[in-house]
């Protein structure tokens, strides 16, 4: 941060955002953050005004997943506390989001008056964010402010989880100073431990008959997708992905098996992985959703588990070994190239889908037909429920072109996320898959898509209520209002809407959607209340035993 010695706290924070290459900040202004907004507007960073703060959190999360790090900026309490859930999701799924919140000035706070937006005391919001961030600070002292900003950015960058920076409004223009050099961003492994770990892992792999790699979300977050490809091409070890890891590798790669998610996923993939005598888990978290609600059967005796938080080989752990160093060492290690595995059971050809023009559309056919429309420039963002379960089988062409809150499973992620995703990758066309229940939560954020000139294709999987729940416990509480989604262009003043009842209408609408690039397209896909994907059918059966 050269040249920042005489900066104000606001200027330093903006410079730091730029140092981390954050080009878009998502949020909503409010009086306690207006001065910083003014500085933001004067900076090269783009402010993306959203309609709601929770949506700003989702957009920043998606931006971070695609771009490496993201940021949201909101006002005190009424803004910050509206974003609690989105940031909790970013914490749970390891997405590095910097949260910047305005606050009453220190001078105003001094006498502890009942200033508007205050809840219990002036630290209420900070205490709440302590629960859902890896580092947090209130910039209440110009002497320490720069170091505090460095500390939060550093923790967020290393741990790939959200951080919290609260900026009292009378501190924005206060001049700070740098006491310490910002920490070096690299952590280094203990060389002997690293050597020992690599040796054991190489031996285990070399001795194994049919090793397999299970690739997870951290390969996205740390940008290690290339390392993964090198590793499998060097060794011919095939790779499956967890749900959160989906699209960590282009899905037509000859060594890619598909999604492993226990009994929820395709049986061939499950059998392949579970019959392996050496499962190398890279950057995956063993969540219930990743594992199809704990139906996966992986033996620790045959498992090598490598993440940024832990390195476990069978029953023991190696401390002080970084994810990055271990991957690099494996790439350099004497691992033999095996014979190509026999993977002829995988459907390789994108087989032509025959459209039955007048056949009523079903969930299964919806995803089969959609699959034919996925192109190299398509980014798929799936909300939860059958949007996610069905999307698991879509073949993604490019890496990190699939986003979904697959573990935290917060409804309403997808539409706001499409804004962050496409702004981070303007060369992409985003296909949003979203249920009607989730759309009613955040779908109006299409307003922001219009303002930003984005053009998502939004597929509303309209099964008239909370479909996944109907299969667990039916009741009137699963019903929701029947919106005419295709009429939204009339309200938003842009976009194109379709009502889809047959395969022919779907095919036609998708063709028109591809051609319509100037604004959003929304497809109201009318499904039977109880229609479901095969994956949901299997999952619901298991989940319903626990309700």
Q: Which 259-318 residues touch its own copies, going by CB under 8 A?
A: 285-290, 294
Give the 3-state secondary structure of residue 431: strand
Letters for 483-512 (x = contact with its own copies by CB under 8 A, - = none) are xxx-xx-xxxx-------------------
Considering only 260, 466, 498, 520, the residue that binds its own copies (CB under 8 A) is 466
Q: Which of 543, 374, 370 is nearest to 461 (CA)?
A: 370
Give how far the C-alpha of residue 458 lies from the chain's centroid of Cα atoms, to the nearest Å.
Answer: 18
Q: Which CB sits closer to its own copies, 130 or 376? A: 130
Nearest-approach distance from CB 421 to its own copies, in angstroms: 19
- Asked if 475 touches its own copies (CB under 8 A), the answer is yes
Task: State in angstroms the smallest separation of the CB of 217 from its own copies.
Answer: 12
Residue of 1, 4, 118, 364 that binds its own copies (CB under 8 A): 118
**Calpha distance 243→392 (Å, rounded):** 7
Q: How many residues bind its own copies (CB under 8 A)?
A: 85
Q: Going by DSSP bridges, is the β-strand pair 311-313/303-306 parallel, antiparallel, or unpaired?
A: antiparallel
Rounded least distance, CB 374 to its own copies, Å = 26
Q: Alpha-carbon distance 180 to 366, whole Å?
A: 57
Q: Between 189 and 404, whose beta carbon lies closer to its own copies? A: 404
| Contact between 519 and 488 (Cβ < 8 Å) | no
User: Among 5, 6, 18, 34, which residue interacts with its own copies (rule: CB under 8 A)?
Assistant: 34
- Based on the shown chain and the rule CB under 8 A, indicate whether residue 131 belongs to the binding site for its own copies: yes
Distances (CA, A) of 56 to 61, 82, 431, 532: 8, 10, 19, 31
Q: 189 or 287, CB closer to its own copies? A: 287
| CA–CA distance, 66 with 17 (Å, rounded to integer) | 16
Q: Mask of contacts with its own copies, 436-465, x by CB under 8 A?
A: ----xx--x--xx-xx--------------
Residue 167 contacts its own copies per CB under 8 A? no
CB 172 within 8 A of CB 204: no
Q: Closer to its own copies at the Cβ: 24 or 365?
A: 24
Distance CA 80, CA 72 (A): 10
Do 520 and 458 meet the contact criterion of CB atoms below 8 Å apart?
Answer: yes
Sheet strands side by side (includes 163-168): 46-49, 24-27, 70-74, 97-103, 163-168, 135-138
Residue in 16, 117, 151, 425 binding its own copies, rule: CB under 8 A? 117
Compose the 67-86 pattern: x for residues touching its own copies by CB under 8 A, - for all others: ----------xx--xx-xx-
Map tokens 């591809």 to a residue.
514
DSSP state of 29: -
* Residue 108 binds to its own copies (criterion: CB under 8 A): yes
Among 480, 499, 514, 537, binds its own copies (CB under 8 A): 480
Element housing 259 (H / E) = strand 256-259
91 binds its own copies (CB under 8 A): yes
Beta bridge partners of 308: none
Element (H, E) at 325: helix 323-332
CB of 304 to its own copies, least distance (A): 19
Give the integer Cα–Cα distance in Å for 226 and 160. 19
Does 114 bind its own copies (CB under 8 A)? Our answer is yes
Among 37, 222, 224, 389, binds its own copies (CB under 8 A): 37
Residues 6+ apart with CB under 8 A from 209: 277
Residue 331 is a binding residue for its own copies (CB under 8 A): no
Taking the least distance from each CB to its own copies, the nearer of 81 and 239 is 81
- Our finding on whether 47 is near its own copies (CB under 8 A) is yes
Enumerate residues 195-254 that contact its own copies by CB under 8 A: none
Note whether 473 binds its own copies by CB under 8 A. Answer: yes
Helix (H) / strand (E) containing 57: helix 53-67
Per CB under 8 A, does 345 bind its own copies? no
Binding span for its own copies by CB under 8 A among 36-44, 228-236, 269-277, 350-358: 36-44
Give dist(CA 395, CA 375) in Å, integer: 9
Three-state DSSP at 485 gives helix
Span of 114-122, 245-253, 364-372, 374-382 interacting with its own copies by CB under 8 A: 114-122
Nearest approach, Cβ of 22 to its own copies (angstroms)? 17
CB 371 within 8 A of CB 347: no
Residues in 370-429 that interact with its own copies by CB under 8 A: 407-412
Nearer to its own copies, 168 or 420 (CB): 168
**Interacting span for its own copies (CB under 8 A) from 8-16, 226-234, 258-266, 482-490:** 482-490
Given the rule CB under 8 A, which of 27-35, 181-189, 262-270, 347-355 is the region that contacts its own copies?
27-35
Give the range of 8-16, 43-51, 324-332, 509-517 binding its own copies by CB under 8 A. 43-51
Radius of gyration of the CA atoms of the chain, in A: 24
CB under 8 A: which stretch of 38-46, 216-224, 373-381, 506-514 binds its own copies?
38-46
Given candidates 14, 22, 128, 380, which one binds its own copies under the rule CB under 8 A?
A: 128
Tell me the DSSP string of 289-305.
TTTTTTT----GGGEEE
Closest CA to 292 of 312, 313, 276, 273: 273
d(CA 193, CA 199): 10
- Output the smallest distance, CB 194 to its own copies, in A: 27
- Pick between residue 109 and residue 400 the one whose CB is nearest to its own copies: 109
Provide, rounded to whole angstroms, the least separation between the CB of residue 286 and its own copies: 6
| Chain Cα centroid distance, residue 211 | 28
Nearest CA-CA partner of 205 in 62, 329, 319, 338: 338
Residue 542 lies near its own copies (rule: CB under 8 A): no
User: Of 519, 521, 524, 529, nearest to 483 (Cα)?
Assistant: 524
Instruction: Pick the closer one to its own copies by CB: 78 or 346.
Output: 78
């Amino acid at each position: 941060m050269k040249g920042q010695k005489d900066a104000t706290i606001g200027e330093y924070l903006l410079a730091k955002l730029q140092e981390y290459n954050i080009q878009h900040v998502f949020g909503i202004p409010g009086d306690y953050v207006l001065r910083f907004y003014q500085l933001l507007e004067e900076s090269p960073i783009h402010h993306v005004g959203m309609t709601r703060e929770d949506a700003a959190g989702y957009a920043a999360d998606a931006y971070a997943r695609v771009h490496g790090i993201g940021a949201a900026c909101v006002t005190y309490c009424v803004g910050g506390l509206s974003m609690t859930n989105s940031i909790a999701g970013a914490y749970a799924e390891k997405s590095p989001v910097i949260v910047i919140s305005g606050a009453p000035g220190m001078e105003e706070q001094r006498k502890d008056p009942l200033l508007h937006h205050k809840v219990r005391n002036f630290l209420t919001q900070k205490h709440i964010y302590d629960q859902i961030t890896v580092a947090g600070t209130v910039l209440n002292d110009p002497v320490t402010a720069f170091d505090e900003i460095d500390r939060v950015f550093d923790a967020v960058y290393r741990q790939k989880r959200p951080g919290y920076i609260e900026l009292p409004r009378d501190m924005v223009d206060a001049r700070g100073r740098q006491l310490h050099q910002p920490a070096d961003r690299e952590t280094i492994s203990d060389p002997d431990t690293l050597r020992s770990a690599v040796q054991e892992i190489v031996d285990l792999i070399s001795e194994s008959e049919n090793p397999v790699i299970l690739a997870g979300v951290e390969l996205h977050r740390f940008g290690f997708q290339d390392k993964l490809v090198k590793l499998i091409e060097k060794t011919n070890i095939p790779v499956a992905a967890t749900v959160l890891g989906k699209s960590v590798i282009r899905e037509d790669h000859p060594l890619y098996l598909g999604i492993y998610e226990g009994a929820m996923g395709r049986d061939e993939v499950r059998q392949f992985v579970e019959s392996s005598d050496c499962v190398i888990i890279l950057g995956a978290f063993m969540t219930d959703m990743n594992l199809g609600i704990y139906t996966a059967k992986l033996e620790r005796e045959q498992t090598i588990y490598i993440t940024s938080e832990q390195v476990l080989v069978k029953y023991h752990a190696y401390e002080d070994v970084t994810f990055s160093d271990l991957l690099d060492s494996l790439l350099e290690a004497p691992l033999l190239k095996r014979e190509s595995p026999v993977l002829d059971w995988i459907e390789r050809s994108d087989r032509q889908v025959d459209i039955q023009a007048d056949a009523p559309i079903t969930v299964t056919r919806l995803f089969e037909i959609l699959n034919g429309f996925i192109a190299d420039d398509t980014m798929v963002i799936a909300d939860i429920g059958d949007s996610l379960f069905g999307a698991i089988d879509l073949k993604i062409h490019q890496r990190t072109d699939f986003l979904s809150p697959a573990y935290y499973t917060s409804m309403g992620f997808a539409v706001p996320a499409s804004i962050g995703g496409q702004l981070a990758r303007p060369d992409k066309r985003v296909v949003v898959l979203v249920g009607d229940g989730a759309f009613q939560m955040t779908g109006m954020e299409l307003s922001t898509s219009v303002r930003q000139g984005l053009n998502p294709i939004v597929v509303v999987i309209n099964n008239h209520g909370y479909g996944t729940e109907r299969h667990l416990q039916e009741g009137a509480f699963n019903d929701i209002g029947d919106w005419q989604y295709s009429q939204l262009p009339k309200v938003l003043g842009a976009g194109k809407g379709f009502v889809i009842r047959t395969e022919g209408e779907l095919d036609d609408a998708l063709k028109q959607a591809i051609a319509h690039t100037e604004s959003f397209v929304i497809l109201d896909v009318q499904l039977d209340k109880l229609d479901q994907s095969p994956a949901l059918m299997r999952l619901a059966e298991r989940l319903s035993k626990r309700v």
